[in-house]
Structure 1
Amino acid sequence: MALSAVQILTGLATGAATAVGNEAGRAVSDLVRARLGASEDGRAALDGVSADPADPSAVRGLQEAIREALAADPDFQSRLAVVLAGPPPDVPPAHAVSPQYTGNIIIGGGSKVRNSQISLGPLTITNTRATRASLTGIAGLLVALLALGLYRGVQLLTGDDSSRSAAGASSGPKSPTATPSRSASGTSDDAAPVVRDAAKVQQILPDVASLPRGWAIASGSPTTEQCSSNRVGISKDRQFHYICKTGPVLDLQSGYDPGPGVGYNKVHVEVLAYPSVAAAAEGFVGVEAENADSNEAKQVREVILPSYGDESSAVTMIATVPSIGLQLSQGFAVARCGSIVVRVVISDDNGSTVDLDALNAFTRTVTARAQQALDNTTPTAAVAL
């Protein structure tokens, strides 16, 4: 959200905003300037971008100022979300008035009955005795075909097949046929694609080419292992949700170093490849509960990110570690894409806010790469910050 606001403000400052987007952009600009103008640091951040919209340090300073205001002011956060979404689309008229015709019967678009002729688009039929007889014959044929179709439909529904019985086939009760289970999206679980090859699952993890400039893959990454069947997430109602209890689950993980000048220390991505959609759906609930696990030393709250895959959620956690004088802040996101569950963790070892833009960007990218792998194509989605 902060990144989107900064892009709008810099676009207005450089004249890059289009005439169509000017009105919405002005609304965002007015809201941000009113909020940041209440503090000296906020005014300094605004002045820096106004002086030079292309200055990277000024842009970063404004983005950080907006992010801090969003974290400290829920009302500002909700109002900014509304203006970023833009005005609702125009509502179409409740009723459409059809043109009136006199002396004609409208059969359809471009089709009419006029005097002794019937016009059906490019086809014109003259209303004569021979034509009426032909039409009567065609109508009778259509009725016969409809009756035959209805009869065959009843046969399919009831299982009755007289010709088969006459040939000696059994017409008694037939054994029931098992109905395949279906995923949440309505696809048969048996037919849903899965990825069981570790090398293909590893491609879902962002590689160097898909990272922002200056980023690097952390030392020792990625790792590949079988997810432990004892791994469990405990929900608020103290229910246990096992993450990897249903069959063997490939568990691939990788860490990423953002480099200097970034307000967090590292990003961690985990990809869990399940043998079925049903198993992944159970695993998603477990990881979601694991992310939200809290105690008295942690402050965990749910945050709203765009929806990804078949289901997704995100939380932030802030914990104070008095023994070392640090305040740890983390953002956790989990998404399920068919038979694959992805988890993204943003960590700041000495901060009070979580970079939701980075959490959102990595979650969006890894979910897209998971879908590409399920589509049997090489994942190419890149992280855009």
Structure 2
Amino acid sequence: METSELATMAVAVMTATVTGAATAVGQSAGTAIADALHARLALTERGRAALDTLNQAPEDPAAQDTARSVVQAEIEADPVLRRQLQLQLTAPGTNATGSLLITGSQVSRSSIALGPLTINKTPGGRAVIASVATLLLALVALALYGGTRLIMADDSPGSSQDDSARHAVRALNVSEVKQVVPDLTSMPSGWARSGSLTAGKDEEGGCSGAQARFNTNNWNDGTSTRTVWAEFTVWSCASAALTAKGFEETRSGVANNNKAREISLPELGDQRAAITHYNIDVDETTAVALLRVGTVLVELEYQPVPDDSGWSREFEQLASMAAARAQQVQNA
């Protein structure tokens, strides 16, 4: 699939999530796709500008074109991102090689379903449909005439594709680990740094680490605002196996905390876990996300968990951003 086609479909999903037009993309995959792309674009000034414009005017063709251009550039620069979008945006037909497969398409009075994407027939939904209609008609027409091929990543033993180019795995030094830790420009609006970034190397274990803490007063329980903290701890060891061992040890330790409960987390990195537990030190519930991306282990501690259910989306957004940064630094 051409990068322009992937970018068009990706921006359509992003637009649908902003306008509320998308009711289902797989099982909440639309939100996961949009969150991952938001985290990715938030890493650059151009990406952040495109996001702001799209969020303010999601139905504006110019805003969609700008976002499409930025997303296409990201796809062309990162084979890993390209593969992930191919797998997610063409599901459930991701195993179709050499053919075009659109499954589960349905039209009802209130919605239109195209493969895994369901779009409401609202004004916002119609704008999304208009943005991808030309692309879909072209693909269907080509399929009817047998003239199109959906080129998917080939993971077979005989494949000539270089997996290392799509998913680089290498140990990071202290300077590189610091780049994985988010900065203020990549954090959501309203967050501030609490203290300075710390970094160093565990000489005994040979792992490089960095840590930073942020806070926000955006959460409001109806009577007063409350401060929420997000702490990122990042480690990179000499091999993925050593980092995987650290992941399991850390997950086991968190799972043994008081009132620990596993919660869902999008498919991020090579290993992932999310757990809430009662933190006696602050007398509040804390949420912890653990992610292993190659040789990088990211621990995100988010506390206290607000009563507002919207916290989980921000929690997942922060985790997605950290995972994207971990892979991006390893790809460099």
TM-score (norm 2): 0.47
Higher RCO structure, 1 or 2 (CA under 8 Å, sep 6+): 2
The higher radius of gyration belongs to: 1
TM-score (norm 1): 0.41
